[in-house]
């Protein structure tokens, strides 16, 4: 149901670094990458074997980034009127369109607490206070066959992918030329990804029961980041104020979490449900979960058993 993106270690050397500035206009970005576009137009011939073509694209990134400045300048000068992307970009496989990401390890054998906390977050997302249902069912976090499930980055790894490395893990290591470009000085720009809203469950989110809403600049660094409780994500103003989005006690059972919030008057929609209605809805979207949780066996619940609530 969900997509897992492995973290490639050492595929692109650490010397290939993000652009130092994230404050770039569209015109400035074009000026920065036009030489690179000319370079791959001339140097890249897509190969039918995906692995061989990936290797070729990575080599081109390294060659451009490590080249003398005079080499890059020569392409930059020839590309004065370069206004379109190389036609060969159309040969690449579809790019990840989903912006709902889990960047922490959630293998239930090695990280059972992370796994069960993830389950609680995903289940609560189905109980969104919005009348429109699950907040990601309508392309709010990008297109995906299963938008209610995050894309997992190295779910079986022991290492979290840090926020500043997220776009690199998704697009630089895969040498996705549609989403990345290399500047005239050899630094990386995520030129087609800037200013979109990403929904990220990281280790801090698993510990606190929240989803981070992040906007990245064109250099892949976070420009905005706020943590929001999952049931608030259907709201128009990205989940409301901070005082309505304090950390949740993830040591509690899921109904106790919700009942505690209701008792403290912290739901943004007054009178939003009660223990009986939440239990009924959870049984519909996560059949069997509450029984497993009551017996301390919620780690046995399968993610694939989650299903959309039809109200």
d(CA 86, CA 304): 39
Do the domain assignments include residue 43? no
pLDDT: which is higher, 236 or 289: 289
Q: What would the pLDDT profile of 249-261 be if each residue is shown by its tens digit? A: 999 999 999 999 9
Residue 153: what pLDDT?
Answer: 86
Do the domain assignments include residue 247? yes
Do the domain assignments include residue 242? yes
What integer is the mean pLDDT of 53-79?
95
d(CA 286, CA 253): 14
Q: What would the pLDDT profile of 161-200 be if each residue is shown by its tens digit? A: 877 788 998 899 989 999 999 999 999 999 888 778 899 9
Residue 21 corresponds to which tokens in the numbers above?
Answer: 């500035």
Q: pTM for this one?
A: 0.88
Do the domain assignments include residue 143? yes
What integer is the mean pLDDT of 39-50?
93
Residue 83: what pLDDT?
Answer: 56
Q: Up-side HSE of residue 57: CA atoms within 13 Å toward CB?
A: 26
Residue 211 and residue 205 in contact, taking contact as beta carbons nearer than 8 Å:
yes
Q: Up-side HSE of residue 98: CA atoms within 13 Å toward CB?
A: 20
Number of domains the chain is built from: 1
Residue 217: what pLDDT?
Answer: 92
d(CA 41, CA 75): 10
Q: Which domain holds residue 224?
A: 100-163+195-305
Q: What would the pLDDT profile of 93-126 be if each residue is shown by its tens digit? A: 766 678 899 999 999 999 999 999 999 999 999 8
d(CA 207, CA 185): 40
Do the domain assignments include residue 293? yes
Q: What would the pLDDT profile of 67-79 be if each residue is shown by its tens digit? A: 999 999 999 998 8
pLDDT: which is higher, 126 or 236: 126
Residue 75: what pLDDT?
Answer: 95
Do the domain assignments include residue 36? no
Mean pLDDT of the chain: 86
Do the domain assignments include residue 254? yes
Residue 244: what pLDDT?
Answer: 84
Q: Up-side HSE of residue 80: CA atoms within 13 Å toward CB?
A: 2
DSSP one-letter code for 304: G
Do the domain assignments include residue 57? no
């Amino acid at each position: 149901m969900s997509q897992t993106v492995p973290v490639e270690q050492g595929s692109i050397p650490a010397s290939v670094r993000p652009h130092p500035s994230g404050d770039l206009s569209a015109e400035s970005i074009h000026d920065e990458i036009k030489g690179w576009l000319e370079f791959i137009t001339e140097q890249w011939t897509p190969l039918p074997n995906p692995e061989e073509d990936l290797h070729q694209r990575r080599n081109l990134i390294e060659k451009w980034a490590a080249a003398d400045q005079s080499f890059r300048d020569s392409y930059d000068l020839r590309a004065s009127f370069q206004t379109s992307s190389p036609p060969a970009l159309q040969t690449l496989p579809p790019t990840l369109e989903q912006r709902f990401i889990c960047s922490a390890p959630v293998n239930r054998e090695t990280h059972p607490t992370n796994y069960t906390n993830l389950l609680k977050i995903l289940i609560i997302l189905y109980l969104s206070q919005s009348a429109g249902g699950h907040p990601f069912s309508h392309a709010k976090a990008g297109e995906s066959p299963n938008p209610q499930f995050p894309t997992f980055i190295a779910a079986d790894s022991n290492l979290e992918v840090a926020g500043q490395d997220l776009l690199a893990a998704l697009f630089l290591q895969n040498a996705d030329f549609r989403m990345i470009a290399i500047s005239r000085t050899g630094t990386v720009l995520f030129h087609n990804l800037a200013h979109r809203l990403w929904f990220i469950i990281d280790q801090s989110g698993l510990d606190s029961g929240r989803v981070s809403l992040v906007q990245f600049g064109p250099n892949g660094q976070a420009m905005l980041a706020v943590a929001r409780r999952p049931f608030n994500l259907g709201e128009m103003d990205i989940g409301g104020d901070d005082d309505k989005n304090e950390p949740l006690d993830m040591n509690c059972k899921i109904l106790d979490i919700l009942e505690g919030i209701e008792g403290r008057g912290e739901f943004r929609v007054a009178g939003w449900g009660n223990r009986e209605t939440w239990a009924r809805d959870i049984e519909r979207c996560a059949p069997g979960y509450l029984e497993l949780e009551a017996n301390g066996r919620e780690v046995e619940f399968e993610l694939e058993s989650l299903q959309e609530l039809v109200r």
